[in-house]
Amino acid sequence: MQSSSNLFPVALISAERRGDLSEDVYRLKPGNSPDASVELAVTRLGMADASEIRGVPVILLHGSFSNRRFWYSPKGLGLGAYLARLGFDVWIPEMRGHGLSQRNQAYRNNRVADYARYDLPAIGAFVREQSGQVPHWIGHSLGGITLAAALGGHYLGEPAVASAAFFGTQVSRTYWPLKIPPVEWSGRFILKRFAQLSGSRLKRGPEDEPIGLALESMRWYGLFGRFGDAEKNWWAGLADVQLPVLAVSAAGDHQDPTWACRKLFEQIGSEHKQFVCLGQEQGFKGDFGHVEMLVSKAAQAEVWPLVARWLQDQQAPLLESLPALAEAV
């Protein structure tokens, strides 16, 4: 089988027309992590009847218990489809064991540290190779945390990232019981009995999450925890980030509250950054929630145009453009 890339083995496993959109699904096998069985599915969206010339690439990273359908539904709806119709070259990876990405051999041990150090750089390199341009990156929730870890750990940087946008992303919310060592130890002992957390049973989403992620987050929020791994302090590394950055919170998000999202935003060292809270106080028609900030009719009307505006011009003040965007809808 001939690879679709000169970087590492890549197979085009599906090429379909979905209404007015083209959908190409690639399977990447980077071979850059200790677990050689890791394979990543990446979906590329474009206009079916457009020329071969693609627009600016955008990489969309889903959150926990989710997959590519967060960005692109079977009916051709979602922020990914919206951006593709505007001419952007849209790429939607699915993390290890999610969606079309098969579970790797060490699935239960998967962590953000693995996604950030190995998977995101491989995805970024492949997108740059195929598009010939530096991509913008957008992450929601855990996808944003993974992007922040990759930037703070210096696994991704300016040569590979045109801009970074974080939606509902924070690592500063305090879970006081985890500050008590016996409670944390007991929690770890119980969690280690499981291989994964079920999204359907927990009513969190369609996908499962490896137990390694839960154990990793417990360490972050523990008594002497930090956002990082044994080798690097990702939180401290965010101060070195000089890319254009957009951070977005939702006024009605109780999972990742605005104050915590703002704390991540303030830690990023870039001089070219903007913070938006999706709520009535900042001129929106209502207070958005954690998922509704990107997946809802209200998001389609008020948030998606904001994202497109950001991708077109990272220097333009987004909140000042709200009236014009509302009139255009």
Q: Cα separation of 138 and 32, whole Å? A: 23
- Which pLDDT belongs to residue 173? 80
Yes or no: domain 8-172+230-310 corresponds to CATH 3.40.50.1820: yes
Q: Does position 176 have pLDDT exceeding 70, yes or no?
A: no
Residue 165 DSSP SS3: strand
Give the C-alpha separation, 216 to 213, whole Å.
5
pLDDT tens column, 139-172: 999 999 999 999 999 999 878 999 999 999 999 8
Q: Which two tokens stand for residue 279?
A: 């709520």
pLDDT at 70: 97
What are the pLDDT digits (tens) for 202-253? 999 999 999 999 999 988 887 778 899 989 999 999 999 999 999 999 999 9
What is the crossing angle of helices 120-131 and 142-152, to 10°? 90
Region 6-23: mean pLDDT is 94
Which pLDDT value is given to residue 177? 67
Q: What share of the chain is helix, strand, coil (3-state, %, to 5)?
A: 35, 20, 45
From the CB of residue 1, how many other CB atoms can be counted at a distance below 10 Å?
Answer: 7
Sequence spans of domains, the chain: 8-172+230-310
Q: Taking the CA of residue 315 as centre, how many other CA atoms within 13 Å lie in the half-sphere pointing to its CB?
A: 0
Q: Identify the band that residue 185 occupies on the pLDDT scale cut at 50, 70 and 90.
A: low
Residue 328, pLDDT > 50, answer: no
Mean pLDDT of 196-200: 91
pLDDT at position 322: 63
Q: Pick 294 or 182 by higher pLDDT.
A: 294
Are the C-beta atoms of residues 142 and 113 closer than 8 Å to each other? no
What is the spatial distance between Cα 240 and Cα 152, in angstroms, rounded to a whole number? 8
Give residue 326's pLDDT: 46
Between 176 and 288, the more confident residue is: 288
pLDDT attached to residue 327 = 47
Contact indicator for 139, 166 with CB cutoff of 8 Å: yes
What is the pTM (predicted TM-score) of this model?
Answer: 0.94
Bridge pairing between strands 57-61 and 136-140 = parallel
More confident residue, 39 or 180: 39
Q: Are 136 and 163 in contact (CB under 8 A)?
A: yes
- Residue 32: both structure tokens together: 């850059």
Q: Name the pLDDT band for 194 (thresholds 50, 70, 90).
A: confident
pLDDT tens for 272-303 read: 999 999 999 999 999 999 999 999 999 999 99
pLDDT, averaged across the chain: 92
Percent of the chain with pLDDT over 90: 78
pLDDT at position 195, please?
A: 85
Helices (H) and strands (E) in the chain, counts: 11, 11
CA distance 302 to 283: 10
* Weakest-pLDDT range from 98-102, 177-181, 189-193, 224-228: 177-181
For residue range 18-55, list pLDDT tens digits in order: 999 999 999 999 999 999 999 999 999 999 987 677 89
Say yes or no to pLDDT of 127 above 90. Answer: yes
